[in-house]
């Protein structure tokens, strides 16, 4: 019997007939320029995430360039740890994106719940991100927005990198100053042009946050203060706090750090002020912190995640903020 891929038929139905149903009040996320809602195909019963942006507000803010960048980038990306876009509708007033769902919620909420992650858990999620970034770079795409809010869990517990509004297809260098202040590489702030290595810097900050529970700049309120420390170099901001000693460790007089020496070494290498001296993805994957990691099995999702969402149904919203009942989106 011939195997028929039903997905193109589903997408044809979606975009030709708009046969979707917006689940009333079930908003997955909300931002300044739009929101993401859970939707279901009327004929096939399959759930998707519908991201809707207000074009007027985006145009007034001069941000439409980033929207079309996101579309161009997502069209060429296809990786197990990157959210999949099935298509989009560009109407006169709004842009609608249709994505796969990631019903395990954001990494941000897991960090808020647990404060920080055990070494092996952080290592697993960092490895997922590394594989996603390595793939993006192989396609000529720089991400520029790595942070826990942009990492989501699918139903099986694997990470998905989401929100490609700041990503860009580059061939050599780019000059735009953009990103989240605490994750910006120094070469972005110098405005002398930068390349793919800015993602390696953000990776270093992310790994630190996963292991410690906050970024090295969480005590600062003003972005300018954050930028000042970043430009001065890691010796001015990179501190690895000590955790509380166990009774046995205290008796033996051991100095205990919250981060392993191998993890600390990798973080310091990733946060090198000179982007040319940050490790390549091959170097990162061979680092001692990842000893024993089977990268091929992980990419094929053969390694069991440390956290698997306990979902009662495909529309279970327990890992998302309750936004209350909202008006259904008309497309």
Is 163 designated active site?
no
Give CA–CA dist 325/305, Å, rounded: 33
Please name which of 79, 105, 115 lies closest in space to residue 244, comparing C-alpha atoms.
115
Structural contact between residues 264 and 240, judged by C-beta atoms closer than 8 angstroms: yes
From the list 54, 145, 274, 297, the catalytic residue is 145
HSE-up (13 A, CA, CB side) for residue 310: 0
> What CA dihedral angle connects 204, 207, 211 and 216, to 10 degrees?
40
* Beta strands at 151-153 and 159-161: parallel, antiparallel or unpaired: antiparallel
Please name which of 148, 184, 181, 142 lies closest in space to residue 165, comparing C-alpha atoms.
142
Q: How far is CA 40 from the centre of its chain?
A: 24
Residue 51 annotated as lining a ligand binding site: yes
Which residues are known binding-site members for ATP?
51
Active site residues: 145
């Amino acid at each position: 019997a011939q195997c028929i891929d039903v997905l193109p038929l589903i997408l044809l139905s979606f975009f030709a007939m708009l046969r979707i149903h917006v689940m009333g009040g079930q908003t997955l996320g909300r931002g300044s320029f739009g929101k993401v809602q859970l939707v279901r195909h009327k004929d096939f019963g399959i759930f998707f995430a519908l991201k809707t942006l207000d074009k007027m507000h985006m145009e007034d803010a001069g941000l439409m360039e980033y929207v079309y960048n996101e579309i161009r980038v997502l069209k060429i990306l296809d990786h197990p740890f990157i959210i999949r876009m099935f298509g989009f509708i560009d109407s006169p007033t709004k842009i609608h994106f249709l994505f796969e769902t990631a019903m395990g919620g954001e990494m941000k909420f897991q960090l808020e719940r647990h404060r920080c992650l055990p070494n092996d858990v952080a290592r697993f999620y960092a490895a997922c991100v590394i594989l996603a970034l390595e793939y993006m770079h192989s396609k000529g795409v720089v991400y520029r927005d790595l942070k826990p809010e942009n990492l989501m869990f699918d139903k099986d517990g694997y990470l998905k990198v989401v929100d490609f509004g700041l990503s860009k297809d580059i061939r050599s260098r780019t000059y735009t100053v953009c990103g989240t202040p605490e994750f910006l590489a120094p070469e972005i702030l110098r405005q002398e042009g930068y390349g793919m290595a800015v993602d390696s810097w953000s990776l270093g900050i992310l790994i630190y946050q996963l292991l410690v529970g906050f970024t090295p700049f969480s005590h600062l309120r003003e972005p300018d203060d954050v930028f000042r420390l970043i430009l001065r170099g890691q010796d001015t901001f990179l501190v690895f706090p000590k955790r509380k000693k166990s009774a046995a460790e205290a008796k033996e007089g051991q100095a205990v750090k919250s981060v392993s020496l191998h993890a600390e070494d990798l973080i310091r290498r990733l946060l090198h002020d000179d982007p040319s001296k940050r490790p390549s993805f091959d170097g990162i994957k061979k680092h001692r912190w990842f000893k024993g990691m089977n990268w091929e099995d992980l990419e094929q999702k053969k390694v069991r995640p440390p956290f698997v969402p306990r979902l009662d149904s495909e529309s279970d919203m327990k890992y998302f903020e309750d936004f209350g009942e909202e008006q259904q989106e008309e497309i």
